[in-house]
Amino acid sequence: MIGMSAVEWLEPRSLEEALDLRARYGEDATVVAGGTFLGILMNQGFLRPVRLLALRGVLDLDSINQENEGLVLGAMATHRVVERSGMVREGWPALAHAFSVVASPRVRNQATVGGVLADADYASDPPAMLAALDARVVVAGSGGRREIPVADFILDHYTTSLEEDELVVEVRVPGRARRAVYRKFRSRSSEDRPCVSVAAAEVGGGLRVVVGAVAGRPQYFPEACALAESGRTEPDLADEIARRYAEAIEPISDARGSARYRRRVVAVEVRRALEDLYRE
C-alpha cells in the first residue's frame, strides 16, 4: 500500500469548495466519504491514489430530513445514523433495516449513504432497498444539479453514471411505501455480505422487486412486477414472479455461491419476500 505521507490530502470545508476541487482534478482525486471500502482497496493494493478528496469536513451533507412527505438523506449521513433515525424507522422501517444489517456497528459508524452508492459494490445492502423504494440520487457538478434514479445510477461493477466533476450530495426517497421488506441471504457464516438480497416494495400502487448481490447492478424487472395486483398477491402469483426473476437474471459466481446456486436462491427469496410483503 502506498504510504499516506505520499498522498496529497484535500479537505474542503464547503460543497462549493469540494466541487471546485472535483472539477479541477477529476478522477485524479479519489473521493473519500466514510472510507470503509476505499480503505480495503488501498490495503489490498488495488488502488494507489496520489490525491484524496475528503468530504467529512463539508458542512450540511450529513442531515436527514423529511420534505413533501418524502425522505432526504444527506450523502455523508452514516449507515448508523440512518438505521437509528426515528424518522426513518417510523416512515421507512424496511430502509432502516437494510442499513442496520450492513457489516458491524463499527463499519456502519463510518460508511455513508453517498459512499455506498458511489462505490457501486454489487454486494452492498442499501442500493437494492433504495432502488425498490424508487429513490433518486441527487448529484452536483459544474453544470448544476441533476437527479438520477438509483436503478439507473449504478451501471455495473464499481461503475456509476457520475461525471468526472460530479459528487453525490443527497438521496431522495418518495413518500412512505405502503409496504416494504428487505431480505438478506448469507451463504457463509464467516462473512456478512449477502449471497442474494431481495428488496420488495409497494410504491405508488405498483410493485417493485429488486434483487441485489447477484450481478454488476441491482436487478429490477418491471414486466414481472406488473403481474401483481396492487395491494395483494396470491401464492401462485408470487411463485410466478419469483420464477421469472430467476430466469431473467444472469447471476455471477463468486466465493459466496455459484451462478446455478444463486439462481435457485433467487427463486426462493423473491417468493419469500413477496409472502412477507403481503402478510401484514
Let me know: does 46 contact 3? Beta carbons within 8 Å. no
DSSP 218-255: -EE-HHHHTTSBTTB--HHHHHHHHHHHHHH-----BT
Check whether residue 183 and residue 169 sit in a common domain: no
Per-residue pLDDT tens digits for 35-79: 887 887 788 787 889 999 999 999 999 999 999 999 999 999 999
The closest of 169, 150, 138 to 63, measured between CA atoms, is 169
Asked whether residue 203 is domain-assigned, the answer is yes
For 169, phi then psi, to 5°, come to -115, -30
Check whether residue 86 and residue 156 sit in a common domain: yes
DSSP 29-82: SEEESS-HHHHHHHHTTS---SEEEE-TT-TTSS-EEEETTEEEEETT-BHHHH
Check whether residue 207 and residue 167 sit in a common domain: no
Check whether residue 266 and residue 223 sit in a common domain: yes
Domain count, the chain: 3
Which secondary-structure segment (H or E) carries 118? helix 113-119
Asked whether residue 34 is domain-assigned, the answer is yes
Asked whether residue 127 is domain-assigned, the answer is yes
Check whether residue 163 and residue 228 sit in a common domain: no
Angle at 60 between CA 59 and CA 62, to 5 degrees: 105
Q: Report the DSSP pairing between strands 64-67 and 136-141.
A: unpaired
Out of 173, 190, 213, pick the residue that ends a domain: 173
Out of 173, 193, 220, pick the residue that ends a domain: 173
Beta bridge partners of 196: 185
Residue numbers of the domain that contains 191: 179-277
Out of 141, 173, 205, pick the residue that ends a domain: 173
| CATH of residue 78 | 3.30.465.10
26: left (phi over 0), alpha (psi -120 to 50) or beta: left
- Residue 114 grid coordinates: 453517498
The closest of 152, 244, 116, 267 to 198, measured between CA atoms, is 267
Q: What pTM did the predictor assign?
A: 0.94
Check whether residue 129 and residue 211 sit in a common domain: no
Check whether residue 122 and residue 219 sit in a common domain: no
The span from the CA of 48 to the CA of 42, in Å, is: 6
Asked whether residue 59 is domain-assigned, the answer is no
| Tens place of pLDDT per residue across the chain (280 aa) | 344 557 999 999 999 999 999 999 999 999 999 988 788 778 878 788 999 999 999 999 999 999 999 999 999 999 999 999 999 999 999 999 999 999 999 999 999 999 999 999 999 999 999 999 999 999 999 999 999 999 999 999 999 999 999 999 999 999 988 899 999 999 976 678 999 999 999 998 899 999 999 999 999 999 999 999 755 667 789 999 999 999 999 999 999 999 999 999 999 999 999 999 988 6
- Three-class secondary structure of residue 97 per DSSP: helix
Check whether residue 169 and residue 200 sit in a common domain: no
Let me know: does 57 contact 32? Beta carbons within 8 Å. no
Check whether residue 81 and residue 169 sit in a common domain: yes
Check whether residue 166 and residue 185 sit in a common domain: no
| CATH of residue 187 | 3.30.390.50
Asked whether residue 88 is domain-assigned, the answer is yes
Check whether residue 92 and residue 185 sit in a common domain: no
Per-residue pLDDT tens digits for 191-228: 789 999 999 999 988 999 999 999 999 999 999 999 99
Check whether residue 87 and residue 126 sit in a common domain: yes
Q: How many Cβ atoms from other residues are within 10 Å of residue 147's Cβ?
A: 13
The closest of 200, 154, 145, 153 to 178, measured between CA atoms, is 200
